[in-house]
Structure 1
């Protein structure tokens, strides 16, 4: 990317920094509202009806101190048994679609290509999809959301190139068995977290720490696995099923700390090392140029014979390029990005390869999650950046939400949705960004990974002390239902 184009993109998205009142305009008729969960976070039934062990089962059982309070997802929200009740909640909200994920180990207990399929797992998801259809709710299905079968992790997990074929087998099984009732698919949710937190920082399962090495191998396999699944659908299933396939990536919005060229370049580099790491590949066939150049050069300085960033062959670049029917973004928060002096070239790590300082404005509202500050204008800037960087694609917001510590009167969550959705609508109406879907996170309080049940993102409260796991609507559920029904964020719209 030329410096002139970089400056044009950044200056065009730097104009939205001030908080504004919620807009009184209405969402377009084509715009759809949804809400999301993920299998390990809500299903429970961790070893029932033939389900195999996944990496979160294994980690929680073998290292209970990894998760706050020793929590685990053995029962979670018990959605495996209470899915009809969950669909009734979705019906009350009035959502157009429900984004949920499949458990690989529930469908293929061993995870291995060619290994037996668990019919009980298939039947569970068929029943859930049928219940959604009977209530006029579209399923939006994520094939993988962080819960790799433990058997595959014992073979090395995603850094092992063999995972491409195992995932392809799994994806084909899913398309064959569920595809007649599903129009929208996502292959992977937040691969950045799968690879960076799973194999670099070790803060997510499987908990490995190999920064600047294993995470790049993980991403390489995962991107090729995505492309393989996309082509399987495109060639074998799309003619009959007429569906759409994408991948869900996430990023923080990196706001340049100043108008200096150095800070603007640092912000752009951070975006490319986060979102672009995966999406530049599926759009253009390869990693962002800035990643390739920096990691190649640093690897050379460190004495590696080849770059720590694996290379796609020319054939692979052509195969991966264009493997998306829409672009998706999970977005929550914002930081400022600032240039910094180059780090010691002998240090092998993702952070050193990136080499950007980040900081926050302490006046930004703090959620219950240490990483999540409430910065609504950051989402509008991010949507504009996506649109300009990737040639104005159709964009789905596939996760957006805020955490608290519990309670039914969650006015702060209502304010969050009102302000963030205002910025989505302004991006559509004022900036011409083609956003067509918005997905709130989350339907109900659930297992929040390493934070267990201490942080609450749901519109419905779940009593985890009660074996029945009763759900109770919060004030935000009523607000979101009102927004969906009226397509308006305030009491009266134009």
Structure 2
């Protein structure tokens, strides 16, 4: 670890030991909560909705989901949206980040068949949010591709660029008078890296050679850019909105002071965040990824790199396609350098290309998810790294949250997590000059958490999944977050910033 990193880490340690920040959030700072259609809506086959990839996956492979569960009903927000919006209004959020279920408005994924019942549902939800003073922040794709499109290769098929662009244009036409803040994709890193390779795979659950991961990234970036340009060229002037993408990364802290582990830190950040962020904010893949994958591919006997090469036209088309940086961040990992370029494995893999081992510090507080520990100083470092790496963009924290087992409506660990992470955020704003414009909690409700089913609870509000009514009960963290939103302060009394 170099001297600069040592000093920063020491400052973080002193700060959190001394307590929660008593600075006020900036006057124009916005607070929200986040959900995703598949995780809360239910109504999986009602009113003309088509089957999504995750509908098929949970029904076909229940053994891959903890508890063998699915999201056929989940929170039943498809029917309980009025109650949901009352809860949001009472919480006092400035915005609600939610997603559209692609197959609810396009059952086959294509625009030749528009499901009017789905359109009416979302227009009703968006208008009710607006009527209650809540800004709808809408994600077009939160992992639930229509099954018909998954069956032709999903995000490894270049045809998805045009299918997604058609869907995006239709959404802008249908909802652009109500929605002024769009996200194209949520966490492409997650559905590219965790869907096509590895032992614990999200839908569609394939285990393919590493080029599938890169092909997914390549197709998604071109689909995102096309949707962005459609909005920019055809809708922005009239609708006066903005559009971005949501990316995710854990902070990567070197496991030691060695030069090798510092190199491992860079590899981990560039392969996790840089593969998606660098083309959008700087242009092209990160050079270290280009060089490393090309060399490894050559040694593995491939005639070309497994990482697709962008043309200059594609580089120029993708660069600059984000009005701000949408960031999902939860935790920190320790990384150690593991694989030299020449350490060729029997089976080409993304992990071998990335070339690091990831661990955690057992002293970091542990949540109900094995990967999630509370490391607030890592959040501050992540914000600074994004600021310095991508030209000082405005950053909207689109997800951040804590998981427990949901056995109690009293959730002091979640409150501590919120306090510590928002303290780190305030330090990034005031001490480091990072332009963080808002923050959103994952999630307003306990919901279906993908492979974890209903075993991990991230909600500010408890949902009784054993009740046909899916009764909602606010937790203590709900009331604490309500107070933060109202006072823009983490403690009882804040000093002027």
**Could you tell me the TM-score, scaled by structure 1's length?**
0.96
Q: 2:179 aligns with which of 179, 182, 188?
A: 182
Q: Distance in 2 between matches of 1:224 and 1:23?
A: 41
- The gaps in structure 2 that reach 5 residues or longer are none
1:389-434 per-position Cα deviation (integer Å, ceiling 9, x unaligned): 1121100100000000012000111111011000001100111000
Assess, with a 3 A threshold, how the Cα gap between structure 1 residues 314 and 8 changes in structure 2: closer, same or farther.
farther
Contact 2:9-2:377 at 8 Å conserved across structures: no
SS of the equivalent of 2:422 reads helix
Assess, with a 3 A threshold, how the Cα gap between structure 1 residues 303 and 419 changes in structure 2: closer, same or farther.
same
Matched, 1:345 2:355: no
1:227-268 per-position Cα deviation (integer Å, ceiling 9, x unaligned): 000000000000101111111010010012233332222111
Contact 2:21-2:423 at 8 Å conserved across structures: yes
Q: Distance in 2 between matches of 1:346 and 1:483?
A: 50
Q: Tell me which residue corresponds to 1:195.
A: 192
Contact 2:2-2:257 at 8 Å conserved across structures: no
Q: How does 1:366-405 map to 2 (within 5 A)?
A: 366-405=366-405
Matched, 1:142 2:139: yes
1:363-389 per-position Cα deviation (integer Å, ceiling 9, x unaligned): 111100011011111100100111111
Matched, 1:98 2:99: no
1:310-366 per-position Cα deviation (integer Å, ceiling 9, x unaligned): 111111111111001001110000011122342731441001101112221111111
Q: Tell me which residue corresponds to 2:446.
A: 445
Contact 1:16-1:380 at 8 Å conserved across structures: no
- The gaps in structure 1 that reach 5 residues or longer are 1-5
Q: Tell me which residue corresponds to 1:491.
A: 492
Q: 2:129 aligns with which of 125, 129, 132?
A: 132
Matched, 1:303 2:301: yes
1:447-483 per-position Cα deviation (integer Å, ceiling 9, x unaligned): 0101111110000000000011010000000000000
Q: Distance in 2 between matches of 1:17 and 1:255?
A: 14
Q: 1:118 aligns with which of 107, 115, 119?
A: 115
Q: Distance in 2 between matches of 1:127 and 1:448?
A: 26
Matched, 1:170 2:167: yes
Q: How does 1:244-323 map to 2 (within 5 A)?
A: 244-323=242-321
1:186-236 per-position Cα deviation (integer Å, ceiling 9, x unaligned): 100000011111111252111111141211111110000000000000000
Q: Distance in 2 between matches of 1:82 and 1:268?
A: 45
Q: Tell me which residue corresponds to 1:218.
A: 216
Q: Distance in 1 between matches of 2:451 and 2:321?
A: 32
Contact 2:281-2:391 at 8 Å conserved across structures: no
Q: How does 1:44-59 map to 2 (within 5 A)?
A: 44-59=42-57
SS of the equivalent of 1:365 reads coil
Contact 2:197-2:209 at 8 Å conserved across structures: yes
Q: Distance in 2 between matches of 1:395 and 1:12?
A: 24
SS of the equivalent of 2:483 reads helix
Deviation at 1:16, TM superposition (A): 4.8
Q: Distance in 1 between matches of 2:150 and 2:439?
A: 33
Q: Tell me which residue corresponds to 2:483.
A: 482
Contact 1:188-1:247 at 8 Å conserved across structures: yes
Q: Tell me which residue corresponds to 2:361.
A: 361
SS of the equivalent of 1:223 reads helix
Q: Tell me which residue corresponds to 1:242.
A: 240
Deviation at 1:62, TM superposition (A): 1.2
Q: Tell me which residue corresponds to 2:410.
A: 409
Assess, with a 3 A threshold, how the Cα gap between structure 1 residues 10 and 165 changes in structure 2: closer, same or farther.
farther
1:40-93 per-position Cα deviation (integer Å, ceiling 9, x unaligned): 000000000100000110011111111111110000100001111111111111
Q: Distance in 1 between matches of 2:463 and 2:173?
A: 34
Assess, with a 3 A threshold, how the Cα gap between structure 1 residues 256 and 192 changes in structure 2: closer, same or farther.
same
Q: 1:331 aligns with which of 329, 332, 354?
A: 329
Q: Distance in 2 between matches of 1:248 and 1:58?
A: 25
Deviation at 1:181, TM superposition (A): 1.0
Q: Distance in 2 between matches of 1:74 and 1:111?
A: 19
How many aligned positions are there? 488
Contact 1:249-1:328 at 8 Å conserved across structures: yes
Bigger shift: residues 389-398 or 206-215: 206-215
Deviation at 1:285, TM superposition (A): 2.5
Contact 1:32-1:437 at 8 Å conserved across structures: yes
CA-based RMSD of the aligned residues comes to 1.5
SS of the equivalent of 1:185 reads strand
SS of the equivalent of 1:357 reads strand
Matched, 1:473 2:474: yes
**Could you tell me the TM-score, scaled by structure 2's length?**
0.96
Assess, with a 3 A threshold, how the Cα gap between structure 1 residues 258 and 401 changes in structure 2: closer, same or farther.
same
